[in-house]
Amino acid sequence: MIKRLLIANRGEIAVRVIRTCRELGIETVAVYSTADKENLHVRMADKAVCVGPPASAKSYLVRENLIMAALRSDCQAIHPGVGFLSENADFARAVKKEGLIFIGPDAEVIDLLGDKVRARETASRFGLPITPGTDGPVSDPAAAAKDAERLGYPVIIKAASGGGGKGMRIVRNAADLAENISIASREAEANFADGTVFMEKYLETTRHVELQILADGNGNVAVLGERDCSVQKRHQKLIEESPSPGVDDSMRARMSEGAVRMFRELKYRGAGTIEFLVADGNFYFMEVNARVQVEHPVSEYVTGVDIIRQQILACTEGRMEIDPAAIRLDGWAVECRINALTPGRITELQVPGGPGVRFDSFLYQGYHVPPHYDSMVAKLIVHAPSRPLALARMNRALSELRVEGIKTNRLQQLWIVNHPKFRSGEFGTSYYAEIEKEVESVR
Amino acid sequence: MDDKTLISLVEKFGASDLAELTLEDGATRLVLRKETAIRAIAAAAAVGAQETPGAAGAQGAAGTLVTLSALGVSGAQGAQSALGAPGAPVHLGLPARIETSNDPASLAASAGEMVTSPIVATFYASPTPDAPAYAPVGKRVKSGETLCILEAMKMMNHLEAEFDCEIISVKAKNGDLVEYGQSIFEVKRT
């Protein structure tokens, strides 16, 4: 077992990693920007190193500072958390070069999966259906028009290196195609320093479903069920649940089969997610996220597995404590992301409790939420035997939660959880846009 | 986005208690930021950032940070990008960060300013173990002179004085890990 690990992240995910490390007997080193001096992860870690000023580009994203902090505080490994450098192959390479363990897959695997065109080709090779689309990048307007005609409108232009909705354009008719390819390409270039775009058929009512994968790097690949993340505000997930109301045993088995083959072949190590679009009883490969995800606790609830623990063991020792064949899904779990709508000082915090309730956060009374980072300040997760019971529990837990001093989206989440369409389970990724006006007027 | 929408947005934003608003609809990117938000960023590291180190020291403000930008220096970012650049020279001048002392005792004694580390690195007082220190206590250094070496990722970075000053005390020992913002030298302007 390694003795000490540096967490190259902040806030909630850093706290989450510290908790598992403590149970594993691993000491933790936190890093922080000057705006995060009072952050809970700094208070909880065994040691903390200041790595820069508030702007993440000058602190949490400065590889040299993070690696120096790890080396000089005698860490053996770096956990990148989510976001920041978690899917940065160059960082993974630099960490390894300094003789440290990167808690994640090999840099080459991150590179391959990070390029969406190559990832699609790879998935297709392992028998996973991909959305009908172009085989490679598109640039020539005439050729693109032919492809779009073959696929049928609407089509979607996507950035090969993209994410978070950037470099993504939906095109509904031929007249708008050339212009949108050029805009998407420029947007992709500006955001990801890679202007490569490709085209897919755009599916109108789809669910966003993802499988949670854990792999030991030696060919053992476990699937911890799926998550449904269809409630999204402009590609930002708001509510996640496991299992998905739109996936049955047969579809789950078919998804898992291709995913396991792909991850085994890649010699994938650690935690990862494979995302699918689900529409009309079919599923299509979208992309792989080569890291742990924000919404991992819903999978932890239904499987009883500590994903961070297995991720660390897989990456540091090439082993896991779970038997892939023995994973069972038990009950229903739902997560609501609690986002800060304003920065400010927490004057009162009342955390929900009772059976089947988990609250992952870095908030504490008196803490000042800085304006510099991601707006998510907490995750409220519940577990119950069935979906109706889980939603009743979430309704209860959201009602118990009190965060004073800043504005949060608690009431908006409460509204969605009680909305008939959400309750019915029959919704897709366009659901939030349909209810946006009502939700955002909730006070 | 038409003018009417824009004006209405600005007005609503002005009346709200939001500090910052970023709006992107694919074609337009609009960022509205209140002065309070910018101040919050500047003040995040230290309570009550002020313009002049002297005034701050006199009032004994806790942890007043004079940012590099306030001093008109390019700052740590330049140093970091240079560090990351392939083929960057091994000897690299890092602009030092300057912080007024927040230690009441030293304030009373000297009202010195702190030179702080712009990176996470290993501190070396001299170029080699047996060489004399660049900036021992009592030495007067000129602006641009090397104060110490900060080794990061096998790169020997020279930390340079931002102004003429006298070394009052050295806060780090040979081989110490220094964090971003950590005080290395206490100095007095000359």
Average pLDDT over residues A375-399: 98
Residue A362's Cβ-side half-sphere holds a number of Cα atoms within 13 Å equal to: 29
Question: Phi/psi class of residue A428: alpha, beta or left (left: φ > 0; alpha: ψ in -120 to 50)?
Answer: beta
A148 CB burial (10 A radius; 0-12, 13-18, 19+): buried
Same domain, B78 and B137: no
pLDDT band at A135 (very low <50, low <70, confident <90, very high): confident
Per-residue burial over B143-174, b if 16 or more Cβ lie within 10 Å, else e, is eeebbbbbbbbebebbbbbbbebbbbebbbee
Task: Name chain A contacts of B41, Cβ cutoff 8 Å.
Answer: 35, 54-55, 371-372
Instruction: Examine the domain organization and report whether A19 and A93 are in the same domain.
Output: yes
In a domain, A122, yes or no: no
* Total number of domains constituting chain B: 2
Residues ≥6 apart with Cβ < 8 Å to A201: A131, A132, A133, A151, A152, A154, A155, A156
Residue A355's φ and ψ, nearest 5 degrees, are: -60, 140
Cβ–Cβ gap A69/B120 under 8 Å: yes
Q: Which of A50, A370, A371 shows the shortest C-beta gap to B179?
A: A50
| Residue to substitute from A36, A71, A72, interface B, most B β-carbons within 10 A | A72
Q: Is A165 within the bounds of a domain?
A: yes
Is residue B82 located within the same domain as residue B149? no
Helix or strand holding residue A421 (H, E): helix A420-424
User: Each residue of A318-365: pLDDT tens digit?
Assistant: 999 999 999 999 999 999 999 999 999 999 999 999 999 999 999 999
Q: What's the pLDDT tens digit per position in A51-69? A: 999 999 999 999 999 999 9
Residues 87-116 on B with a CB inside 8 Å of A are none
What pLDDT sits at residue A12? Answer: 97
Task: Tell me which residues of chain A have a C-beta less than 8 Å from any C-beta of chain B.
Answer: 34-35, 37, 49-55, 57-59, 62-69, 72-73, 98, 169, 183, 187, 341-343, 370-372
**A50 pLDDT more than 90:** yes
Q: Are residues A246 and A354 in the same domain?
A: yes
Q: Is residue B99 part of a domain?
A: no
pTM of the entire predicted model? 0.78
Whole domain around residue A41: which residue ranges?
A: 4-103
Domain total for chain A?
Answer: 3
pLDDT tier at B23 (50, 70, 90 boundaries)? Answer: confident
What CATH code is carried by the domain that includes residue A188? 3.30.1490.20
Q: Considering only CB atoms, which chain B residues are within 8 Å of A51?
A: 120, 179-180
pLDDT for the residue B78:
33
The answer on A246 and A152 residing in a single domain is no
3-class DSSP assignment, residue A6:
strand
Does residue A169 register a pLDDT over 60?
Answer: yes
Query: Within a domain: residue B144?
Result: yes
Q: What is the mean pLDDT of chain B?
A: 69
The pLDDT, as a whole number, for residue A134 is: 84
Structure tokens given for A65: 């500072």
Out of B26, B44, B119, name the one closest to residue A35 (CB): B44
Nearest-neighbour CA in chain B from A71: distance (Å): 9
- pLDDT value, residue A102: 98
Provide mean pLDDT across the span B154-182: 93
The predicted-structure confidence for B121-130, as pLDDT tens digits, reads as follows 999 999 988 9
Are the beta carbons of B24 and B38 closer than 8 angstroms? no
pLDDT at res. A163: 67
Q: Is residue B124 part of a domain?
A: yes
pLDDT given at position B36: 55
Chain A residue numbers with beta carbons less than 8 Å from the beta carbon of B77 are 57-58
Read off the pLDDT of each residue in A178-199 and give the average, rounded to a whole number.
Answer: 87
Nearest to A343 among B19, B80, B122 (CB): B19
Nearest by CB to B20, from A50, A63, A371: name it: A371
**CB nearest A53 (choices: B45, B83, B122):** B45
- Contact assignment for B84 to A64 by CB distance below 8 Å: yes
Q: Which of A156, A171, A201 is the last residue of a domain?
A: A201
The span from the CA of A119 to the CA of A158, in Å, is 13
The interface predicted TM-score (ipTM) is 0.73
Q: Does A350 lie in the same domain as A266?
A: yes
Whole-number percent of chain A with pLDDT over 90: 86
The catalytic residues of A are 291
Q: How many whole angstroms separate alpha carbon A372 and alpha carbon B150?
A: 28
Q: Please indicate whether, in this complex, the C-beta atoms of A67 and B153 are within 8 angstroms of each other.
A: yes
Co-location of B71 and B34 in the same domain: yes
Q: What is the CATH number of the domain that holds A24?
A: 3.40.50.20
Q: For the segment A252-268, what is each residue's pLDDT rounded down to a tens digit?
A: 999 999 999 999 999 99
| Residue B102 in domain | no
Q: Which residues of A touch B152 (CB under 8 A)?
A: 64-65, 68
Pairing of β A77-79 and β A101-102: parallel
pLDDT in tens, A210-230: 999 999 999 999 999 999 999
- Same domain (yes/no): A429, A295: yes
**Average pLDDT of span B27-47:** 56
Q: Are residues B123 and B84 in the same domain?
A: no
Among the ranges given (A54-58, A104-108, A163-167), the one the predictor scored with the smallest mean pLDDT:
A163-167
The predicted model gives A97-125 an average pLDDT of 94
- Of the three residues B64, B92, B120, the one that is the final residue of a domain is B92
Chain A residues with CB under 8 Å of B182 CB are 50
What mean pLDDT do residues B134-144 have?
95
Q: How far is A165 from chain B (nearest CA, A)?
A: 10
Residues of chain A with C-beta less than 8 angstroms from the C-beta of B39: none
CB contact under 8 A, B181 and A183: no
Residues A121-136 have a mean pLDDT of 89
Nearest-by-CA chain B residue for A56: B77
Q: Which range among A133-147, A277-291, A382-396 shows the weakest confidence by mean pLDDT?
A: A133-147
- The minimum CA-CA distance between B63 and chain A, rounded to whole Å, is 12
Backbone angles phi, psi at B144, to 5 degrees: 95, -10
Same domain, A81 and A225: no
Residue type, B44: A
Contact of B1 with chain A, judged by CB distance below 8 Å, is answered with no
Tokens 């120096």 correspond to: A68
Looking at A160, A182, A201, the residue that finishes a domain is A201
| β-bridge mates for residue A5, sequence order | A28, A77
CB hemisphere CA count around A97 (13 angstroms): 13
- Using the Cβ of B83 and the Cβ atoms of chain A, whether some distance falls under 8 Å is answered with yes
**Substitution target from A62, A197, A234 for chain B, most B beta carbons within 10 A:** A62
Q: Which of A152, A167, A201 is the last residue of a domain?
A: A201
Of B40, B65, B120, the CB nearest to A65: B120
Residue B106 lies in a domain: no
- pLDDT of residue B108 exceeding 60: no
Residues in chain B with CB shorter than 8 Å from the CB of A63 are: 84
Domain range holding B22? 3-92
pLDDT of residue A431: 96
The tokens describing A66, both together, are 């993070």
The CA distances from residue A365 to A92, A348, B187, in Å, are 36, 6, 38
Confidence (pLDDT) at B100? 57
At what angle are helices A387-400 and A410-417 packed, to 10 degrees? 160
Report the chain A residue with the minimal C-alpha distance to residue B27: A183
